[in-house]
Amino acid sequence: MQFHLVVPGLAWPTAAFGKLPAQPRLTALPSLLGHASHAWRAPIALETWLAAEFGLSGARLPYAQLRRLGESTDANSDAHWLCCDPAHLHFSRDRLLLADASGLAITREEADTLMAGINETFPDIGRFEAPAPDRWYVALTEEPKPLFYPLADANGRPVQLFMPEGDEVARWARLSNELEVWLYNHPVNAAREETGQRTINGVWLWGAGPRDALARAPVSHIQADQPFARGLARHAGIAAQAADRYRAQPGTTLAVVDSLQRPALHMDSAAWLAAIEELDTNWFAPLLAAVKAKQISKLRISAPGDKHFLHIEVSASGLWKFWRKPQPLDALLASAPAPNPQNP
């Protein structure tokens, strides 16, 4: 049996922000790392990497359709989906930057109020939905033609570097601008400003692609709570199981655990330390036991991200090397290459 654990956010960006402020209390992960081989690869967004694992590649992938499919089974199968994710736009010097909704703490009530207003104001565009407060969509009758850049590419970076390209760009730029003006003037944002919260003053349109893109499951079992991963699994004909803990299953398994992703993105060390200690208990410890018992012949751990991609491999046949000592996680992270200064 082979097991592939995908943990975005595991590679805390020490090269850019220095070492961890405290050592997490880990027992199993250092033992795994002590018997592992590892490689640092070019940075890549989780969604892009997952799509490639399922055999999807190219500039135009149906990210929106797949992520919406992962939210629930009630998605309109006849629609062409476009992500219309809420964001906060702000100027830094002379550059307009985008911050995604992961730091906005949008409530369910706020999202429902804004969705009702957007659908009332823009009925000719399509049907807007918010299955989660920070993940918005619009269902369209036709596939949008421009090439949209994924939200992960634009997050925290100058917006002008990631504007849509191709046909009908003006139409979608106009919609985006109209939504920004509408959001800016909405009472929800007035209330957020009064309480010192950042406003929901923009959206990021992305994820358009052909609905007939064929995906193949790279494994026989998938564990995931992340909507895009669950949508990929459904699209490939596999029912994803919960990613709350390790489950021993015959064949091959891909598990996507994203509890470290948001803390790493926002440099929230306290939340990151708590999440990785929980991972050590629910995932790394039982995985180490399964490798020792040769129930798993090869364990792969991948950590895609926008600074680095860390790939780790542990084989059952290598655990006999008793002289190899546990390796602390911070020692491994210290070996990360410096981020490319040319990367925006």
Q: Transcribe 143-176 into DSSP letters.
A: ---SBPPPHHHHBTSBGGGG--BSTTHHHHHHHH
- Enumerate the domain spans of the chain: 2-56+215-333, 63-206
Say if residues 60 and 68 touch (Cβ distance below 8 Å): no
pLDDT beyond 60 at 343: no
pLDDT reported for residue 183: 97
Looking at residues 58-82, what average pLDDT do you find?
Answer: 88
At 125, list the tokens.
Answer: 């565009």
Q: Residue 158: pLDDT above 80?
A: yes
Confidence of residue 76 (pLDDT cuts 50, 70, 90): confident
| Residue appearing with tokens 């029912």 | 239
Give 117: exposed, middle or buried? Use CB within 10 Å, 0-12, 13-18, 19+: middle
Q: Note the pLDDT of residue 18.
A: 55
Percent of the chain with pLDDT strictly greater than 70: 95
Residue 69 in tokens: 């499919």
Q: Which amino acid is at 50?
A: L
Q: Which fold has domain 2-56+215-333?
A: Alkaline Phosphatase, subunit A (3.40.720)
Helix and strand element counts for the chain (H, E):
13, 11
Q: What is the pLDDT of residue 14?
A: 63
Average pLDDT of span 101-119: 97
Residue 19: pLDDT band by 50, 70, 90 thresholds? low
Q: Indicate if the pLDDT at residue 344 is higher than 70.
A: no
pLDDT band at 305 (very low <50, low <70, confident <90, very high): confident
- Tell me how far apart the alpha carbons of residues 119 and 100 are, in angstroms, rounded to a whole number: 22
